[in-house]
């Protein structure tokens, strides 16, 4: 069976966001200071992506690093910076509230895609974005505890991710594994002067390794998806992390999101699934 570009892009985006969902839970479970966590997250992400790049590209793996274009380097820098802000947000405010703000990425990506890429966003995608925004507004209304500092960190991370989707649409890189590898090592290097790992336990080390693998694999798929579908359609999957991530923290750490959040999250998932179905159907009809 031949998979259309549209279906391939939707699968990459959907699975990438699903893999990314435990990110916030792992950050909470590791429970160490920001700089030490960023060092471990970046180091293990870089190592995992280095191995994955060699496994996929074989003898051509090093060429992937030499061929990084300016858009890929833009993604690397923004990915590194946004990771600091996202982790800081999770550590200073509720996970649900952080993911709610990050869930507004589709709006930013759609606007940037229209302004800079002159993309035409389908009616169903706009309807899905509207549904997502309304759903997230109900989650905010549900009264999640937050801090102004944490909300600011989450907003900055959201803006950077929105720009990343536009850059991913422009880059000519066949895959973003090498870029995610460089971003991981850059993250670790920037954190190194402030790292304190003296009291790190074996469990925290193991969870940090898992965190690096999760983030690296997830963003490799998410940043590759805009090669096949508009950035707005990729970004519309990001609220899934808001839903799945909040549920995971609730189940494992008892941070209950509230029934309004659960209801709104269900609506968000249904809207995204319907949009994916319509996009695949339309692509099949055009083929």
Distance from C-alpha of 92 to C-alpha of 25, rounded to nearest angstrom: 14
- Write the DSSP string, 85-124: HHHHHHHHS-HHHHHHHHTTHHHHHHHHHHHHH-----HH
Residue 146 has a pLDDT of 65
Q: Is the pLDDT of residue 2 over 80?
A: no
Q: Is the pLDDT of residue 52 over 80?
A: yes
Mean local confidence (pLDDT), 129-157:
78
Return the number of other C-beta atoms located less than 10 Å from residue 115's C-beta. 10
Question: Helix crossing, 70-92 with 95-102: angle to 10°?
Answer: 150
Q: Is the pLDDT of residue 139 over 60?
A: yes
The structure tokens listed for 7 are: 């279906």
Residue 284 has a pLDDT of 60
pLDDT band, very low/low/confident/very high, at 130 (cuts 50, 70, 90): confident
Return the number of other C-beta atoms located less than 10 Å from residue 113's C-beta. 24
Contact 106, 239 (CB under 8 A): yes
Per-residue pLDDT tens over the stretch 15-38: 999 999 999 999 999 999 999 999
Residue 116 has a pLDDT of 80
Q: Residue ranges per domain, the chain?
A: 15-192+203-280
Q: Is the pLDDT of residue 287 over 60?
A: no
**CA 73 from chain center: how many Å?**
17
Q: Is the pLDDT of residue 74 over 90?
A: yes
Residue 1 has a pLDDT of 58
pLDDT band, very low/low/confident/very high, at 210 (cuts 50, 70, 90): very high
């Amino acid at each position: 069976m031949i998979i259309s570009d549209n279906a391939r892009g939707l699968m990459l985006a959907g699975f990438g966001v699903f893999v990314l969902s435990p990110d916030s839970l792992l950050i909470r479970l590791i429970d160490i200071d920001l700089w030490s966590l960023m060092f471990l997250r970046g180091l293990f992400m870089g190592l995992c992506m280095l191995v994955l790049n060699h496994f996929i590209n074989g003898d051509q793996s090093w060429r992937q690093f030499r061929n990084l274009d300016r858009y890929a380097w833009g993604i690397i820098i923004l990915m590194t910076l946004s990771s600091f802000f996202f982790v800081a947000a999770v550590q200073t405010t509720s996970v649900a509230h952080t993911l709610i703000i990050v869930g507004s990425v589709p709006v930013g990506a759609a606007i940037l895609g229209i302004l800079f890429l002159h993309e035409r966003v389908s009616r169903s995608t706009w309807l899905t974005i509207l549904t997502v925004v309304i759903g997230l507004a109900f989650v905010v209304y549900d009264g999640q505890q937050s801090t102004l500092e944490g909300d600011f960190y989450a907003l900055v991370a959201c803006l950077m991710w929105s720009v990343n989707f536009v850059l991913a649409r422009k880059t000519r890189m066949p895959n973003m594994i090498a870029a995610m590898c460089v971003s991981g090592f850059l993250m670790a290097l920037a954190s190194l002067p402030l790292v304190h790992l003296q009291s790190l336990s074996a469990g925290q080390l193991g969870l940090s390794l898992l965190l690096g693998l999760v983030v690296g694999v997830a963003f490799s798929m998410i940043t590759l998806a805009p090669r096949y579908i508009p950035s707005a359609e990729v970004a519309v999957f990001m609220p899934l992390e808001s839903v799945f991530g909040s549920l995971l923290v609730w189940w494992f750490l008892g941070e209950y999101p509230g029934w309004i959040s659960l209801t709104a999250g269900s609506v968000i998932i249904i809207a995204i699934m319907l949009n994916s179905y319509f996009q695949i159907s339309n692509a099949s009809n055009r083929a």
